[in-house]
Chains A and B, each alone.
Chain A
Amino acid sequence: MKQSRLFVAGLVASLAMAGTASKAIADNDEITRGQLMAASCKACHNAAGAEKGVPDLARISPEVIQSQMRAFRDGDRDATIMDRHAKGYTDEEIEAMSVYFSRF
């Protein structure tokens, strides 16, 4: 089923990416729109949410976040609610927020 295949792909890629995410944005010295959007997601997608079954985005690479958000948005991944959320963001916005999670 499409959901689990993407999920496994996501896990593999996220492990591979874990070390590089924060370096790319280390020199940033102002609060950006992408950072604020990522902060919004963190209400659910944090370590406490993860204990109850919502992925902690701090542990997932920007690339995987981007591909999964697009999959949710375009109907390529089953969801209860993320499809409804993902439709609210453009590719640029998804990209802009994706780099911040590992930094929080």
Chain B
Amino acid sequence: MHNFTRRHFLKAFGVTSAAALTGIGCAPRAARNGAKAHVVVVGGGSGGATAARYLKQFSPDMMVTLIEPNATYVTCYGSNWVIGGFESMDAITHGYQNLRDRDGIDVIEDKVVGVDTDSRTVRLESGGSVQYDKLVMSPGIDFKYDDMPGIDEADAERIPHAWKAGSQTELLRSQLLEMPNGGVFVMVAPPNPFRCPPGPYERVSLIAHYFKEHKPRSKIIVLDAKDNFSKQGLFEEGWAQHYGDMIEWRGASDGGLVEEIDVGGMTARSDSGFERVRADVMNFIPAQRAGQIVHDVGLTNDQGWVPVNQRTFKSEMDDNIYVLGDASVAGAMPKSGHSANNQGKIVAAAIVRELMDQEPIDPSSANTCYSLITPEHGISVAAVYKYQDGAQAGVEGSGGVSPSGETSSFRRREAEYTRAWYAGITRDIWG
């Protein structure tokens, strides 16, 4: 392993702009001077890209490097629209050009394979390394395939999770296209906590939308590891209204808790083997944990998530590392793109204030999770969070779900706002 310095590294990659070079050689002093500090952000998803952009916005002279292995990012939000057949992959794919060109962020296409916290250095898959004053990590989730007998990661080529968007999204979509009319789609839904609590139920709604138009004799069965789920009343109201009895949801204590998946037989077994559900297309969404890299760095707790100071999202394990997004334990904030976006701003403000020797502030932010039941029927859950008594907590009397029994014009307006939310937040994250 070469011990590349930042200067070598930049040279190796042909980065020689004056702005990029100012920070080199004064790393020790940097912690006293926000403008000259070098902040490295790991992961260019919802949380990481937001943090990088807002660091630059709050402190334009700061050096910000973003490390992300993929040239483009496909949002999970909107991926259920693709699966439902009314949106394109292109429309949910975002690049890093604006971060590079307009925001002045040094975006490096590489994967972080390790962090030496003593020398404050991240190691890259390509062999280089990058030094940091502060490190921000938003690596998202990884899956716990070990928790489900009978299936492992390689089987995702046959039974997709489609819980990281991209080729998995396209695979599930193509399986649904190939499925005969009258077929059975089975979703095995994950236990808490997991990325996007309403996501599985939006997905089956929009698969029902596709079936209703193209394969009306088909059936949808959800086998759930939980006994209730996000916005349940509103989803069930919408399912009854639009899809009759096409969607059958089985809670954990109602035979829904899957104990084994027989990949060859495309069968999920529950209830000590008494229940066997055969699928034509199966979507297994495994139990989840924080992305692998934060485990490797030693930042996780026994449950596989990263405990942080919820005021700043600084890791409880390391004074120079901040962890946000799905990977973090964030109190009442759900594992959502909107939460990750808010946390990116909170982290950016916390780092800038810390580097300027200012006290942290008690952040407050707003989250909305929209879901579509049909392309014209939107529902939402909203919340305002404040840091109080050591945790991110919902403000009493605020937030909550859309009213039940509303008119179709109300639902249509929320469907329009769902798309406005998407347009707005993706601009906020990727410019």
Contacts and interface: CB of A to CB of B under 8 A. Distances in A.
Nearest to B59: A31
A53 B416 contact: yes
A49 B382 CA distance: 17
Contacts of A52: 416, 419-420, 423-424
A53 B419 CA distance: 9
Nearest to A40: B365
B365 A37 contact: yes
A32 B58 CA distance: 10
Given A39-B54, A93-B364, A30 B421 contact: no
Contacts of A88: 364, 366, 383-384, 386, 395, 397-399
Interface in A48-96: 48-49, 51-54, 80-81, 84-89, 93
B427 A46 contact: yes
Identify whether the interface residues of B are mostly helix, strand, loop, or mixed: helix
Interface string B401-417: 01000000010011011
B135 to A, nearest CB: 20
B415 to A, nearest CB: 10
A81 B411 CA distance: 12
Contacts of A16: none
A40 B398 contact: no
A36 interface: yes
Contacts of B341: 43
B398 A85 contact: yes
Contacts of B421: 43-44, 49, 54
Contacts of B398: 84-89
B288 interface: no
Contacts of B413: 80
Contacts of B427: 46-49
B420 A36 contact: no
Category for how many chain B residues contact A:
35 or more
Contacts of B57: 104
B361 A42 contact: no
A99 B57 CA distance: 17
Contact of B400 (A53, A54, A84): A84
Contacts of A43: 338, 341-342, 366, 421, 424-425, 428
A12 interface: no
A48 B58 contact: no
A85 B366 contact: yes
Contacts of B349: 31, 35-36, 39
Interface string B357-391: 01001111110100000000000101110100000
A81 B364 contact: no
A44 B424 contact: yes
Given A33-B363, A36-B349, 11 more contacts: A36-B363, A40-B342, A42-B424, A43-B341, A44-B368, A44-B425, A46-B424, A49-B420, A86-B398, A87-B384, A87-B395
Interface of A: 30-33, 35-37, 39-49, 51-54, 80-81, 84-89, 93, 104
8 A-B pairs with least C-beta separation: A88-B384, A49-B424, A88-B398, A48-B427, A52-B420, A40-B365, A87-B398, A88-B395
26 contacts: A30-B358, A39-B54, A39-B349, A40-B345, A40-B364, A42-B424, A43-B366, A44-B421, A46-B424, A48-B423, A49-B423, A49-B424, A49-B427, A51-B423, A52-B419, A54-B421, A54-B424, A80-B414, A81-B368, A85-B368, A87-B399, A88-B364, A88-B384, A88-B386, A88-B397, A89-B364
Interface of B: 54, 57-58, 338, 341-342, 345-346, 349, 352-353, 356, 358, 361-366, 368, 380, 382-384, 386, 395, 397-400, 402, 410, 413-414, 416-417, 419-421, 423-428
